[in-house]
């Protein structure tokens, strides 16, 4: 049986904690978004468009957020039915329209962002900006290595 290096064991602990945090954060996100008729998943799709500052296709949202394209498509369809998003023609790809926030979507997103800021400021109490930026860097590095490892394995090399 292959044993973890000390670094591998520590990273495994970090990964497990990220999994635990993910569930808690999704739950908190659902509580923030529910009064606005949304869920964490729907907020994530809308937030990707907002963060980009320009309309995006379903595929672009999926890639940027690390989600399955089919799941984003289902969510986008639901958001459009609820008038949170609008589909716009894409002159570069007729079968892949751009998604933009509607007035209703922008209003809901603004309210959620305000509530999230209050919540996250309380959550950050007692943590330093330096600690938090270090944690982000570690997770970004691990994610980058994970992507490279997956690509290497697909090519049949180690």
Q: Is the pLDDT of residue 93 over 90?
A: no
Q: Is the pLDDT of residue 157 over 60?
A: no
Give the residue-averaged pLDDT of 10-38.
95
Q: Whole-prediction pTM value?
A: 0.82
Fold adopted by 6-151: Arc Repressor Mutant, subunit A (1.10.10)
Residues 52-71 pLDDT 10s: 999 999 999 999 998 999 99
- Residue from 142, 144, 151 nearest 17 by CA: 142
Pull the structure tokens for residue 129: 């900006």
Instruction: Place 22 in a pLDDT band, splitting at 50, 70 and 90.
Output: very high
Q: Where are the chain's structural domains?
A: 6-151
Question: What pLDDT, on the 0 to 100 scale, is given for residue 154?
Answer: 54
List alpha helices for 4-128, DSSP H: 6-33, 40-52, 58-65, 69-81, 103-123
């Amino acid at each position: 049986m292959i044993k973890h290096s000390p670094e591998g064991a520590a990273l495994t602990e970090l990964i497990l904690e990220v999994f635990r945090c993910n569930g808690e954060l999704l739950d908190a996100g659902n509580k923030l978004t529910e009064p606005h008729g949304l869920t964490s998943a729907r907020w994530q799709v809308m937030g990707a468009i907002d963060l980009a500052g320009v309309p995006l296709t379903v595929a672009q949202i999926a890639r940027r957020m690390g989600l399955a394209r089919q799941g984003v498509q289902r969510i986008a369809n639901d958001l459009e039915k609820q008038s949170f998003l609008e589909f716009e023609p894409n002159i570069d790809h007729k079968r892949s329209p751009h998604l933009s926030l509607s007035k209703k979507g922008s209003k809901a997103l603004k309210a959620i962002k305000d509530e999230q800021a209050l919540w996250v400021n309380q959550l950050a109490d007692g943590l330093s900006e330096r600690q938090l930026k270090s944690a982000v860097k570690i997770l970004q590095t691990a994610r980058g290595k994970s992507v490279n490892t997956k690509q290497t394995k697909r090519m049949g090399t180690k």
